[in-house]
Amino acid sequence: MMFSANLGFLWSELTLPDAIRAAKSAGFDAVECHWPYDTPVTDVAKALTETGLPMLGLNTRRGDVAGGENGLSALAGREADARAAIDEALAYASALKVPNVHVMAGFAQGEAAAACFAANLDYACQQAAPLGITILIEPLNRYDAPGYFLQTTTQAKDIITGLGHDNLKLMFDCYHVQLMEGDLSHRVQDLMPIIGHVQFASVPDRGAPDHGEVNFDHIFAHLAAIGYSAPLGAEYKPVGPTAETLGWMEKYLTA
């Protein structure tokens, strides 16, 4: 079993290069991040080379966060901004050999939003393909992100199959999916052909996966049994210092 540290939440008090080094020291097999753009690519590349860790993914910018934005690609009328964010993310990812870019939809509803999101994803996939990068889309739950355009795996599957790009995949976040849909074991198995990355956190508090309503011993074993072998993304919010919340990982590292 391999794990990726999501540095958007883990060691968030450190600079991104130092967080990468901390993840290596803690025994993680990979890292991923949210919005790394304030850190020079050369600094991140140095830390990745030093540790030997791959960076698995990053997100497009959210837009005007102070104004309440959480992604741009489903916002009709903001196509230029959305595509600039996609271009920026692809350039950053390409420089670091990051295989996945999560294109964030944003707060929107209706047919115009659906058409806008599809067009921007089509653009993203076409730009990403020559770079060998996969575009990910991720449903977010209605409690943490009310009004977010993409909320369920069914909606995501329809978008992915409708566009038909080989490099468009689903980010299956167990935390969001459990809150919106439940039935994780069947859902992850049914969606496996279109899953590009898996993330996890406890439910309902989004903490470490050693408590809550989801049995992650079962989920991790099930993922392995159905052939998922890539590092699983630990995207949880630590209570206190990150190093003190990693007891859950010890049994998997020694298994």
* 138 counts as catalytic: yes
Q: Which of 138, 213, 244, 250 is catalytic?
A: 138
CA dihedral 67, 68, 71, 74 (to 10 degrees): -100
- Distance, in Å, from the CA atom of 82 to the CA atom of 104, rounded to the nearest integer, reads 9
Q: Which of 50, 79, 213, 235 is catalytic?
A: 235
Q: Hey, which residues are catalytic here?
A: 138, 235
